[in-house]
Structure 1
């Protein structure tokens, strides 16, 4: 069984994320969505809410693709998380060249720790490439419409969280 790990903070999950998840499902039999706890980033949504949102979106994608998708919160090294879930592949989404520089360094470090785990880069569909959770939150905070960037349930969660 081919197992992939798609890690991120998912604060919140966007249509860019779901596009990468859908694409990754074509490559693996089981996809683990690793939700980084990452207290240093100070997420808007607590872990439980991020897990719930990701599980809801992934249930739809799992039914569409036939791929088993599971959500796994983690707070350890990414390579250790890959070992914990039995992943042979780490899936990373790229939006722009700026993302590549950071990801290139991350791959080098992960390969130095374990060269048996491969990293695969996927680009979201063009209409989703500019979407970043950070920007979605900023637009939502300033009363902008984020419905083009997130699923309806996530849009509602943002409004509720921000008191809009």
Structure 2
């Protein structure tokens, strides 16, 4: 079920659905933080691969826009949240908000250890990071200085490929992904 297609924050009408940098359909609401990478993002609704090949029960951007057009007849101004009748696309990745007591220093220390440990220990560290809501940064598309760092001595133009993982959570980028031009 699609539910509400908009919400208000700070006197502004905002979309309740956005697409993240890899094409995941994300739900946003005032339950989320305005300071997260994708402001107000609270949950993954439909993964990118399912957006591209939806199942009969999938919520798709097209279904959201259909609902927005229905609601727009009754709620003037809602179309401002969906310019040109499209679901907004963000340049940020999504990670679900996770309440964690782990400090930033411990998370950074785990990230630093990853290249130095064997596969079994690396798997354990990755699982520990995921429990605390920290995930590898997806790399897709063009160079983005907020999430990517070019390899030493390189200038990235056009599509980029990952050389080393970057790490992020719902609220911040811990380490940018090391990339080079494709």
Highest RCO, 1 vs 2 (Cα 8 Å, sep ≥ 6): 1
Q: Which protein is bigger by CA-based radius of gyration?
A: 2
TM over 0.5: no
